[in-house]
Amino acid sequence: MNHDHDPVFDPTDRHADRPTWGQPPSRASISVCIATYRRPDRLGHLLDDLVRQSLLPLEVVVVDNDATGSAREVVAWRRARGCPFELVYGTQPEQNIALTRNRSVALAHGSWLAFIDDDERAAPHWLADLVEAACQHAAFGQDAADAVLGPVVPLLPETAPAWIRAGDFYRWPRSRTGAIVPLNRLRFGNVLVRGALLRDRESPFDPAYGLTGGEDGELLGRLVQQGARVIWCDEAVVTEPVEASRQNLRWLMLRGLRGGQDYARHRLSGRFGRLGLAGRAGLMVRSAAQCAVALVLVPLGALLGRHRAAQALILAAANAGKVSGCAGWHYREYATTAGAAS
CA dist., res. 75 & res. 54, Å (int): 21
Distance separating alpha carbons of residues 225 and 202, to the nearest angstrom: 18
* Bridge partners, residue 88, by sequence: 61
- Under a CB-based contact definition with an 8 Å cutoff, are residues 223 and 149 in contact? no
Kindly state the DSSP code that residue 20 receives in the 8-state scheme.
Answer: P
Amino acid at 197: L
Three-state DSSP state, 128 = helix
DSSP category for residue 334: G
The beta strand positions in 92-246, using DSSP E, are: 112-116, 121-122, 147-149, 152-155, 190-194, 230-232, 238-241
Say which residues have a Cβ less than 8 Å from residue 176's Cβ, sequence separation at least 6.
232, 234
Do the Cβ atoms of 72 and 64 come closer than 8 Å? Answer: yes
Distance, in Å, from the CA atom of 127 to the CA atom of 107, rounded to the nearest integer, reads 20
3-state secondary structure at position 158: coil
Look up residue 27 and give its DSSP letter: G
Cα–Cα distance list, 234 to 10, 147, 269 (Å): 19, 14, 30
- The DSSP 8-state label assigned to residue 304 in this structure reads T
Non-local (6+) Cβ contacts of 256 within 8 A are: 1, 314, 315, 317, 318, 321
Task: Render pLDDT for 10-59 as a digit per residue (tens, 0 to 9).
Answer: 333 333 333 344 556 765 689 999 999 999 999 999 999 999 999 999 99
DSSP assignments along 173-188, one per residue: ----TTPBPPGGG---
DSSP state of 112: E
Q: What is the pTM of this model?
A: 0.84
Give the pLDDT confidence score for residue 235 in this predicted structure: 97
Give me the amino acid identity at 89: Y
Angle (deg, nearest 10), helices 306-327 and 277-302: 160
Task: Please report which helix (H) or strand (E) contains residue 290, including its range.
Answer: helix 277-302
Residue 122 corresponds to which amino acid? A
pLDDT at residue 28, rounded to an integer? 60
CA 203 to each of CA 37, 103, 165, 191: distance values in angstroms, whole numbers, following the listed order: 20, 9, 39, 18
pLDDT value at residue 184: 82
Spatial contact of 184 and 190, defined as CB atoms under 8 Å apart: no
Query: Which residues in the chain come in under a pLDDT of 70?
Result: 1-24, 26-28, 138-143, 271-272, 336-342
pLDDT of residue 23: 59
Closest among 51, 67, 65, 71 to 104, alpha carbons compared: 65
pLDDT, residue 202, reads: 82
Residue 268: enclosing H or E segment and its boundaries?
Answer: helix 249-268
CATH fold group of domain 11-244: Spore Coat Polysaccharide Biosynthesis Protein SpsA; Chain A (3.90.550)
Per-residue pLDDT at 269: 77
Taking the CB of residue 171, how many other CB atoms lie within 10 A of it?
13
Where do the structural domains in the chain lie, given as residue ranges?
11-244, 249-335
